[in-house]
Chains A and B, each alone.
Chain A
C-alpha cells in the first residue's frame, strides 16, 4: 500500500504548482476573470508549451498517456490557483468524448488541437429541464439530406463562450430521459443557427446557454454510432468528476490554509481567536472534511480511467457526494470563522468559498449522486 505519487507524477505536480504560483496571483486572477476571454491566454499557452494540456493523451499526440493520478496532480494545483482555463472542459471532457466516441478521421481532425491547447472544446450536455440528468435530452437531431438538423437548447456550457468546437448531445430517437437514442455531435459554434447567450458565472468563470435553431451539421459531425452516446457520456463525465474532485481538493486546501492563518493572526479579547475552543473545533472539522474529500478524490482518480462497472459508478458518485458536502461545509465554516472579512471581494477566501459551492452544481450535486448511489445499494 503506497499513496505517494511516483517521481514522475510528483514532478508533474511540482511543475504545475510552480507555474500557478508564478502566474496566478489573486490580483491577476481577478483581471483574467474580468477580461473578455475570461481566463489567461498566456497561461493557457504555457500549459500547452509544457505539455500539460496533453497529459491525458497518447504519446503520438504529444502527451504521455497520463491516467487518473496524473490528471489529479494537474487539477489539484489548478484548483489551488482557482485557475479559470478550460482544462476540465476542453482537455478532460471534450478530449475524452472525442477520443472515445470519435473515429480515426475525427481524431485526426481534432485531437491534436485539443492536446496542444490550440483547439478549445466546450461540452453541451445539460438542458434547461435536465437538472443534472444528462439522459434528459430534448434537443432533437433529425436526419437530413446532408447529415443532421439540430434543434433545441443547451444549458450552462462553461467555456462555451470562447470554444472553437462544441460537443452537443441530441436525441436521434427515443423519448426524453431515455438512455437510448442520444447522439453526440461536434458543432462549429459559428454555424448558422447557433446562438450563444454568454454570461459570467458567480465564481468568476464564463459560460453560455446555446440555442440550436435548424443547425445543419454534416454526417461526419456525428461522434460514435447514432443513438449510443449515453454510455460514452456517462464514462467521460465520470472521468471529469474525478478531475473536478481533484480540483476541489486544491481549492479546499487553500481555503483551510487561509482560515488557519487567520485564526492564528486575528486577535480579539487580547488573544488570537484560534485560542477559542469553538473555533478550534470548527477548524478541526474543516480539516477532517478536507481529508475525507482527499481520500475520495484519490479513490476516484484510481478508477477514472478503468473499465466501466457498477463499482466505478458507485465510487465516482460517492466521491462527488463527499466533495459536494465537504466543499459547502468548508466554504460556510470558513466564512463564519473569518467573520465579515471572509465575505469581501478584496480578500481571496471569498473566491475560494464561491468556487467550492459552485463545484457542487457542476456534474451533479450531493443529493443527485446520493440518489444514484442509493439506487444501486446492494444488500450485502
Chain B
C-alpha cells in the first residue's frame, strides 16, 4: 500500500504548476473560479495554449498528438488545472468523438478530423438524446437512409450542449428498423453547415443558453462520414459513454468549488461573526468535505486499478453518482451561505468586466443560478438512476 506520488509524478506536478502559473490567462481563471460564463473565444484561447504545449489531447496515442500520460498523471492534471481555475476542455471533440474515431474510424477520418480537433478548427457537439430517447437512448428515431453515396438524415436531436458554437456533430442515427433497436444504429459525422440542419436554443431555468435542439430535414451526409460499420453504432456509443462517465465525477471541480465555498463562508456574516464559524453551517461544510475526501480516494483507487491500461468499469458509475451529489451539495451550501442575497438575480454582475458596486458579496451573483443549473449533473451523461441500474446489473448481478 502506497498512496504517495512517486518522484517522477511529483516532478510532473511541478511541471504542470509551472505551466499553469505561466500560461493560464488570469481573466479566464477568474471567470472559472467565480462561476462566470465562458465565451466561445475563452474556450478557444485556452485550447490553443494547451495545443501549443502538446497537452490538449494527452489521452490520445502519440502518433495522433497524445502524450501517453499515465492515469495518475492525468489525475494530477485534472486536480491542478481545476485548482488553478483552468476551463475544462469541451469534451465532445477531444474526449468523445476522437477516441471513437481513433478506435473505430477509417484512416481517412483520422487524417481529416484528428488534426482539426487538435488545432481547434472544428468544434464538435453530440447528437445522442432525442425528445423520445433520453434514458432509453437505444429507442432513438432519427433516420439515415442510404441513397447512392449519401445518407439522407431526418429527425431531431436535443440537449445538444453548446451546439450553437459547433461546426460538426456526431450523431447516432437509425439505419435499420428491422432488427432489435440496439442493432440498427449507426454513428455518423455530420457537418453542421449542411443544408437542412436547424439549431434552436433551449433556455434553461437560470436563463442560460447552453443546450439546443438540432433538427435534420433531408440532410445529405456522404457515406464516408460513417464511422466503422453500418448498424454497429451502438457498440461505439457505449465505448464513448464509458469515456464520458469517467470525467463526470468531477472530483477536481468539487475541490475547487469547496475551496470557493469556504472562502465565501469566511466572508459572509451571521450574528456578527463569519458564517464559517457558525455551528450548523461549519458542520454542513465539514460533512461535504469529508464526503469529498472519501470520493477522492475512491477516484484514486479507480485510477490505480487502470494504471496498467484499459478503461474503468462500472465502478465509474458509482463514482459519477457520488461525485455529482457532492458537487450539488457544495452548490447548495454556496447558495445558502449568502442568505437573503440568494434571491436577487443581478445579471450585470455576472460579467467579469463589471466595475460597479456589488450588491452583496462579489461572488454572490451567479450562485443561485449555478445551484439550479447544476441540477443537470445528476441528469446528464446517463442519469444517476441509469448509473445505479448499471451498477446493480454489472457489479451486483441483480
Contact = CB atoms under 8 A, between A and B. Distances in A.
B194 interface: no
Interface string A315-341: 000000000000010001001100110
Nearest to B272: A177
Contacts of B351: none
Nearest to B269: A129
A143 to B, nearest CB: 26
B147 interface: no
A136 B271 contact: yes
B376 A367 contact: no
Contact of A156 (B139, B343, B369, B388): B343
A202 B340 contact: no
A203 interface: yes
A273 B133 CA distance: 12
Interface residues of B, number: 52
Contact of A344 (B133, B203, B270, B340): B203
A371 interface: yes
Contacts of A345: 203-205, 207
Contacts of A276: 385
A336 B359 contact: no
Interface string A282-315: 0000000000000000000000000000000000
A361 B339 contact: yes
Nearest to B389: A278
A339 B345 contact: no
A346 B344 contact: no
B272 A156 contact: no
Contacts of B284: 367
B375 to A, nearest CB: 5
Contacts of B373: 343
A155 interface: yes
Interface string A342-368: 111110001101100110011001010
Contact of B380 (A133, A207, A340): A340
B375 A367 contact: no
A370 B270 contact: no
B281 interface: yes
Contacts of B385: 276, 278-279
B24 interface: no
A26 to B, nearest CB: 13
B281 A336 contact: no
Nearest to A208: B344
A200 B359 contact: no
Contacts of B371: 357
Contacts of B336: 365, 367
A348 to B, nearest CB: 11
A204 B132 CA distance: 30
B121 interface: no
A339 B135 contact: yes
A199 B345 contact: yes
Given A136-B272, A340-B376, A351-B205, A202 B134 contact: no
A371 B344 contact: no
A287 to B, nearest CB: 19
A345 B340 CA distance: 23
B1 interface: no
B342 interface: yes
Interface in B190-217: 202-207, 211
Given A361-B342, A367-B281, A340 B159 contact: yes
A268 B269 contact: no
A269 interface: yes
A199 B280 contact: no
Contacts of B159: 340
Contact of B340 (A126, A346, A370): A126
Contacts of A351: 205
B372 interface: yes
A158 B359 CA distance: 15
B343 A344 contact: no
Contact of B339 (A132, A205, A267, A279): A132
B345 A343 contact: no
Contacts of A353: 205, 372
B383 interface: yes
Contact of A201 (B158, B335, B344): B344
B368 interface: yes
B346 interface: yes
A345 B341 CA distance: 22
B177 interface: no
8 contacts: A156-B340, A202-B206, A268-B134, A328-B332, A339-B134, A339-B135, A345-B203, A361-B339
Given A278-B385, A343-B205, 15 more contacts: A126-B340, A155-B340, A158-B343, A202-B206, A205-B343, A268-B139, A269-B135, A340-B380, A345-B203, A345-B207, A357-B335, A358-B342, A358-B343, A361-B339, A367-B281
List the 9 closest A-B pairs by CB distance, nearest first. A350-B205, A268-B136, A345-B203, A156-B340, A202-B345, A131-B270, A131-B339, A202-B368, A361-B342
